[in-house]
Amino acid sequence: MSNYPKPDAATLLEIYRKAALIKINDERIIKQMTAGRLVMPYYSVRGQEIIPSSISVSLDDDDYICTIYRGIHDMIAKGFPLGEMWAELAGRATGTCKGKGGPMHLTCPSKGMMVTTGIVGSSMPIAVGLGWAAQLDGKSRVSVANFGDGAANIGAFHESLNMAALFKLPVIFVCQNNRYAEHTSFADSTLIDRISVRAAGYGMPGVTVDGNDPEEMYGAARVAIERARAGEGPTLIEAMTYRFNGHVIGDAGKYMDKAEYAAAQEADPVPRFRSRLIADGIATEEQLAAIEAEHAAAVDEAVAAALAAPWPDEAELKRDVFAEEIA
Amino acid sequence: MTETTKMNIIQAVNLAMADAMEADPKVLALGEEVADKQEGGVVGVTKGLSSRFGTDRVKSTPISEQAIIGAAIGAAVGGYKPVAEIMLMNFMAVCMDMITNHAAKLRFMSGGQTGVPIVIRTMTGAGFGTGGQHCDYTEAWFAHTAGLKVVAPSNPDDAYGLMRAAIDDPDPVIFIENIPSYWTPGEVTKQVVPIGKAKVVREGTDVTIIGHSLMITHALSVAEELAKDGVSVEIIDLRTISPWDKETVLASVAKTGRAIVVHEAVRQFGIGAEIAATITEELFTTLKAPVKRLGAAFSAVPFSKPLETAFAPQPAVIAEAARVLAKA
């Protein structure tokens, strides 16, 4: 969309910095799982890196996000500390949730990452409540709800969009349409071709953008975030993307269309963005390589520390069930 | 002497919410029809709150149970203390994901980084011919979920005190209001009733009756009747269903050697099973008879008046059980 605000060179570089970290982190997780050093359910985010990277450059630590089991990219883009994240993935006592939440429940309130849910669709009602809290606080804070195309067919989507619009809450609903809801293609679950048209049914703006295009994604998010900060209410953004792996690591994705899959891989958004930054003279090959090397070192350090960290004590079963420890 | 005021449960809950909202600007209320434009709730529990505290803090919502509880959870995680109303307890089924997967678990799953200090008010209770989907007691669903607290006042004084405690509590509390008891007046002391503390509402030596909500009203009338026949009944009002007050219950049953646990929920897998099992585990050798469980029939709540009456434990059934047990 031509009338969207455009990211400047520094912002584009920042978006790349985040996207590259998400990609490297994802690759390291799969590597550690394959090597048997990390045992967990993992919902890969490869292919979806550009979406949260382009949104979060317009967010502060004070802004809230809620995400889902496939949400580690949203977390990294918002600034989740890698060491605590990896310790949590490894189920260690030093994890951000003391090893009690795991990959599907990463939480980091100091960076505004309030809830990660393992239930399809459940990020939205809670993000509405955070939007209400933000509205009451009166500090122009916003609340971002991330979810997938599958979640747009759950009742919580309808209830949340209606309530957010009714109360003019500062919520940005980000539907990351990666074309697959678990094993079911978008076309096999939804007759309309754009989820964003549903926004009109709730009295809010709705847009479909190429989520793999950093400029378009940045522009749409910027408009929605500014609208929310100005007290004008919520927006639904449908960010088109593609899931590069099966639903969960271990699922080979045999149900995915081969030609479509090959085309998506060919258009891998992170290397494509990388080439563009160099071609447009925004960064040099050396600069980007240095960023990537820095990320790789940081992730490797986090992995090593996590795998060497202690397991949680069994007494943790009685802690945090309630504020007061169970006797 | 503590100064008291006579009021019913509706007024007591209303007063507790108003006092809490006055004391702390972070206390909020939301739910279907809770604001004054919609008459402050179907029986008027929240009447006057939106006029006094504004519709930013007291929000009538669409009929959207998932979004109501989600909004409460989000606001709580964002630093507020919402009191959400799910009009009827059966409607809790519509938002069980938000309650049991999220409100109950976020503290644990986040390793204590977040908490969900919400109160979910809900009303229920058979007796008005509302049939199978408007008056069930489903407290066992919530008592079975780690991370939730469940309270159920039987009188206006406890309704006030438990609501104040529930709002102050750092964890999610399910607050169950019994519909048939709503309009019965009582003295209200405006004292906070600690969560997790039962109350011996009548002392006795032969049989302990343990229950909550309307069953306490029934038990009190039964105790009067049995006293005439020389059977001395002790009654424990649980007030908090989870975490329940084992100490008070066990102390009483250790004394009487006989226990009846009674609730309006269906007997099968009800909270009475947990309480009876604990009494048996702890006091097996001092019991004079097996612990008796009384609960509703294992059916949906029926509509037809005679069936509805036969469905849940009535005073006559409780009295008969107590008489039989007292002879053991």
pLDDT digits (tens, 9 = 90+) for A55-87: 999 999 999 999 999 999 999 999 999 999 999
Crossing angle (nearest 10°) for helices A9-34 and A285-308 = 40
A3 falls in which pLDDT band (50, 70, 90)? confident
pLDDT, position B124: 98
For residue B64, list chain A residues with Cβ-Cβ distance below 8 A: 159, 162-163
Percentage of residues of chain B with pLDDT beyond 90: 99
pLDDT, position A327: 83
pLDDT, position B3: 87
Question: Which residue of B98, B113, B144 is the best one to mutate when testing the A interface, meaning the one whose CB has the most A CBs within 10 A?
Answer: B113
What mean pLDDT value characterizes chain B? Answer: 97
- Is there a shared CATH topology between the B5-188 domain and the B199-327 domain? yes
Give the residue among B223, B227, B193 at the shortest CA–CA distance from B208.
B223
**CB–CB contact A122 B101 (8 Å):** yes
Specify whether the CB–CB gap between B214 and B224 falls below 8 A: no
pLDDT, position A294: 98
| Cα of A146 to nearest chain B Cα, Å | 14
| DSSP letter for each residue of B249-284 | HHHHHHHHS-EEEEEEEESTT-HHHHHHHHHHHHHT
Distances (CA, A) of B284 to A6, A46, B3, B258: 75, 60, 43, 11
For residue B71, list chain A residues with Cβ-Cβ distance below 8 A: 125, 128-129, 132, 163
- The H-assigned helical ranges of B44-137 are 49-53, 65-77, 96, 106-109
Query: pLDDT by residue (tens digit) across A92-124?
Result: 999 999 999 999 999 999 999 999 999 999 999
pLDDT, position B2: 76
CATH number of this structure's domain B5-188:
3.40.50.970
**Beta-bridge partner residues of A237:** A174, A207
Report the distance separating Cα B152 and Cα B94, nearest Å: 21
Q: Does B277 touch chain A (CB under 8 A)?
A: no
Phi/psi at A60 (5° precision): -105, 170
From the candidates B32, B33, B85, B134, give the one annotated as an active-site residue: B134
pLDDT, position A204: 98
A91 falls in which pLDDT band (50, 70, 90)? very high
**CB–CB contact B75 A130 (8 Å):** yes
- Judged against a pLDDT cut of 70, whether residue A246 lies above it is answered with yes
Give the residue among A16, A91, A20, A101 at the shortest CA–CA distance from A57.
A16
Active-site residue flag, B134: yes
- Judged against a pLDDT cut of 90, whether residue A207 lies above it is answered with yes
- Judged against a pLDDT cut of 80, whether residue A208 lies above it is answered with yes
In chain B, domain spans: 5-188, 199-327
A-proximal residues of B, 111-130, CB under 8 Å: 111-115
Question: Domains (ranges, CATH) in chain A?
Answer: 9-305 (3.40.50.970)
pLDDT, position B326: 96
- Judged against a pLDDT cut of 80, whether residue B1 lies above it is answered with no
Query: pLDDT by residue (tens digit) across B161-190?
Result: 999 999 999 999 999 999 999 999 999 999
- The H-assigned helical ranges of B134-260 are 139-143, 156-168, 214-228, 246-256
| CA angle, A242 then A245 then A249, to 5° | 145
CATH of B199-327, one of 3.40.50.850, 3.30.465.10, 3.40.50.920, 3.40.50.720: 3.40.50.920
pLDDT, position A228: 98
pTM of the predicted structure, to 2 decimals: 0.97
Query: pLDDT by residue (tens digit) across A13-52?
Result: 999 999 999 999 999 999 999 999 999 999 999 999 999 9
Q: What is the mean pLDDT of residues A290-316?
A: 98
SS3 A5: coil
| Cα of B80 to nearest chain A Cα, Å | 7
Burial A137-149 (b: 16+ CB within 10 A, else e): eeebbbbbbbbbb
Nearest CA in chain B to A95: B111
Tell me: ipTM over 0.90.
yes
pLDDT, position A2: 63
Q: In the sheet where A64-68 sits, what is the strand order?
A: A113-117, A64-68, A143-148, A171-177, A235-240, A206-210
Percentage of residues of chain A with pLDDT beyond 70: 99
